[in-house]
């Protein structure tokens, strides 16, 4: 219903009697209760960009006035990503020492994520961490197997020497 079709609402005058007005119902209500109309703020457009803490996009949510042209270059995947060592991490998790192996798997998946968003520094750091945790798992697992073999040999000698 537009303003031309709005029925005229009674208006309470200074004398306390309702009078007809040519204003719309809301304007009549606002005037009768003493509401002062306030000019609305200018419209703003909200732009959502991907990237989060990416160095090229420090603010993932930005508000720009209308008429502003926003150009955001989406990060490109790395052309030659560092090795993620995922197979190595899975093998040492299954066969050696699983607590540090799980950390190695997580770091190797971080390499893939960082390479997809084009963050070479984070991908390289995660790659080195995945390799380091895989080597730690291999070392602890090898040490456990050696100790287990020594205990079994001693036990075997003790049982059959009687």
Q: pLDDT tens digits, residue range 26-70?
A: 555 545 555 555 555 555 544 444 444 444 555 555 666 666 666
CB 75 within 8 A of CB 54: yes
User: Tens of pLDDT along 72-121?
Assistant: 667 788 889 999 999 999 999 999 999 999 999 999 999 999 999 989 99
Residue count of the chain: 162
pLDDT for the residue numbered 71: 66
Sorted by sequence, the CB contacts under 8 Å of residue 3 that are 6+ apart come out as 24
Spatial neighbors of 136 by CB under 8 A, at least 6 apart, are: 97, 100
The torsion of the CA quartet 15, 21, 23, 25, rounded to 10 degrees, works out to: 80
Q: Is the alpha carbon torsion for 33, 23, 7, 17 positive or negative? A: positive
* Mean pLDDT, the chain, whole residue set: 75
Query: What value, to the nearest 5°, has the Cα angle with vertex 60 and ends 59 and 64?
Result: 75
pLDDT of residue 51: 42
């Amino acid at each position: 219903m537009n303003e031309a079709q709005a029925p005229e609402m009674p208006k309470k005058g200074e004398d306390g009697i309702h009078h007809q007005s040519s204003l719309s119902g809301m304007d009549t209500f606002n005037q009768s209760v003493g509401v002062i109309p306030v000019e609305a703020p200018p419209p703003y457009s909200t732009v959502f960009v991907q990237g989060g803490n990416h160095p090229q996009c420090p603010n993932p949510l930005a508000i720009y006035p209308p008429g502003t042209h926003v150009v955001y270059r989406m990060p490109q995947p790395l052309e030659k990503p560092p090795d993620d060592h995922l197979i190595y991490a899975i093998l040492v998790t299954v066969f050696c020492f699983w607590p540090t192996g799980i950390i190695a798997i997580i770091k190797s998946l971080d390499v893939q994520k960082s390479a997809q968003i084009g963050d070479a520094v984070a991908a390289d750091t995660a790659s080195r961490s995945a390799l380091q945790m895989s080597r730690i798992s291999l070392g602890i697992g090898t040490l456990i197997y050696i100790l287990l073999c020594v205990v079994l040999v001693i036990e075997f000698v003790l049982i059959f020497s009687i």
